[in-house]
Amino acid sequence: MVRGRITAVAVSDVRFPTSLGHHGSDAMHPDPDYSAAYVVIETDAHDGLKGYGLTFTLGKGTEVVVCAVNALSTHVVHKDMEEIVSNFRNFYRQLTSDGQLRWIGPEKGAVHLATAAILNAVWDLWAKQEEKPLWKLLVDMDPKQLLSCIDFRYITDALTEEEAYEILVNSLLGKKEREEQMLTHGYPAYTTSCAWLGYSDQQLKQLCTKALKDGWTRFKVKVGADLQDDIHRCRLIREMIGPGNILMLDANQRWEVKEAIEWVTKLAEFKPLWIEEPTSPDDILGHAAISKALAPLGIGVATGEQCHNKVIFKQLLQAKALSYLQIDSCRLGSVNENLAVLLMAKKFQIPVCPHAGGVGLCELVQHLILFDYIAISGNLENRMCEYVDHLHEHFKYPVIIRKACYMPPQHAGYSTEMKEDSTRKYQFPQGEVWQKLLSGHKIYLH
Ligand SMILES: C[C@H](O)[C@@H](O)[C@@H](O)[C@H](O)C(=O)O
Ligand SMILES: [Mg+2]
């Protein structure tokens, strides 16, 4: 049973020095330090439960998101959990529509990342109070209750509440069987861990050999900085994985529209399934042009990890600008906004292949994609969830991957809780890991 009044919202800046090993590097982000604005919510319920939430950042700027969480927290402290979740769309609207704060958004940038972190903590706490993993909390809700969590403002021209209701009701058929199927086999995943842009050929080969041995069949490679290097790396990885396995490309917004078409055409011989983020994430018509030009080559466009909100996704869908939709658990306004996007994707019949990796993104998004399969899409064709093999050891309930599939989490909550020891040591800049790095390596002071 949901209970308690929120008494405190604490937020911290937790950073991992992943740039040291070039982990996470791509054509636009050569040196990310995977980080999080990490939120902890407490209530007066005397049950010892806390809600943990986060949003993903790349190091610098985490302090800005921390400020935004503090600015938004006035809307959260003293609120009753029962009041929040019984009219969740209203609470969502309140957080995203503060008459002053929305000027520095609205529903985008640092303030929206902060909304995600806070709401992720609320969802974690709610699921814990109900003693269910978040995916199961969602699966067990009836269509009306699910809809009551979604703010439909600005998307009703693409998806009305009535249409969303119909989708959910139609998907009730076979729900139980799909839940069983997920519990037995898990949700299919692909790996990005082998081919970050900063990795050497030798590292790429080693990681690829290991991944193949572990049963991975779908691989993503970073491209976009240098065409000759891309050809070389794509050839290498295609030779290693063979013609039967799946290859995806990710340019992280590096190109102009025309350049994207020309560049990817030159990589078409390696038979990629998709090109991800070919250009600016805000350029809907640009994505549409790229999609149209690459369709005859059998290459789809994927995007979403930096789509600010449901309006951008709506337009991408309306403009037929993407073939694979990549939701993000920490960029969109938490579960609430992701539900809206999952339902729009269903209506437009575009497969959802979530963005994950970072720190904690795999832990969170697995819940959303499990729910999507069981209660919305009912389809696994052309669908897979990203997996990246970093930083899981810092989480209390890390993801479980079996035969390249995400196995449904069993513990209550949203898998957001980090180990106390980790948040202390990696706290920026006071934590002992950063104290050592900052005193020894000038590079971290820029
Ligand atoms: C900076 C990050 O590692 C990105 O490169 C990463 O999220 C990437 O785009 C991905 O698709 O996993
Ligand atoms: Mg990407």
Residue 175, domain CATH: 3.20.20.120
Is 438 inside any structural domain?
no
- Catalytic amino acids? 222, 355
For a mutational test of ligand 1's pocket, the pick from 26, 327, 391, i.e. the residue with the most ligand atoms closer than 8 A to its C-beta, is 26
Instruction: Work out whether the CA dihedral 73, 75, 79, 81 comes out positive or negative.
Output: negative
pLDDT-derived band at 445, boundaries 50, 70, 90: very low
* CA atoms of 235 and 217, how far apart (whole Å): 16
φ/ψ of 395, rounded to 5, equals -100, 145
* CA atoms of 55 and 292, how far apart (whole Å): 33
Least confident of 15-24, 258-267, 425-434, 435-444: 435-444
Is 141 inside any structural domain?
no
φ/ψ of 141, rounded to 5, equals -80, 145
Tokens 């102009």 belong to which residue?
A: 256
* CA atoms of 377 and 341, how far apart (whole Å): 12
Is 191 inside any structural domain?
yes
Q: Longest C-alpha distance within the chain, in Å?
A: 61
pLDDT-derived band at 440, boundaries 50, 70, 90: confident
CB of residue 192 inside a 6 A radius of ligand 1: yes
Beta carbons of 198 and 224 less than 8 angstroms apart: no
Report whether pLDDT(94) > 50: yes
For residue 66, the tally of other CB atoms under 10 A from its CB is 21
Q: Say how many domains are in the chain.
A: 1
Centre of ligand 1 from the C-alpha of residue 439, in Å: 29
Is 119 inside any structural domain?
no
Centre of ligand 1 from the C-alpha of residue 318, in Å: 25
Identify which of 192, 188, 139, 180 has the alpha carbon closest to the alpha carbon of residue 383.
188
Structure tokens at 413: 């909550």
Report whether pLDDT(242) > 50: yes
Is 90 inside any structural domain?
no
Centre of ligand 1 from the C-alpha of residue 143, in Å: 33
CB of residue 347 inside a 6 A radius of ligand 1: no
Task: Report the pLDDT averaged over residues 364-378.
Answer: 98
* Structural domain for 251, as ranges: 169-420
Centre of ligand 2 from the C-alpha of residue 249, in Å: 9
Report whether pLDDT(385) > 50: yes
What's the ipTM? 0.98
**pLDDT over 70, % of the chain:** 99
**pTM of structure:** 0.97
CB of residue 32 inside a 6 A radius of ligand 1: yes
- Per residue in 158-215, pLDDT (tens digit) is 999 999 999 999 999 999 999 999 999 999 999 999 999 999 999 999 999 999 999 9
Average pLDDT, the chain: 97
**pLDDT over 90, % of the chain:** 98
Is 86 inside any structural domain?
no
Is 65 inside any structural domain?
no
For a mutational test of ligand 1's pocket, the pick from 60, 192, 275, 279, i.e. the residue with the most ligand atoms closer than 8 A to its C-beta, is 192
Is 138 inside any structural domain?
no
Beta carbons of 260 and 278 less than 8 angstroms apart: yes
pLDDT-derived band at 446, boundaries 50, 70, 90: very low
pLDDT value for 441: 57
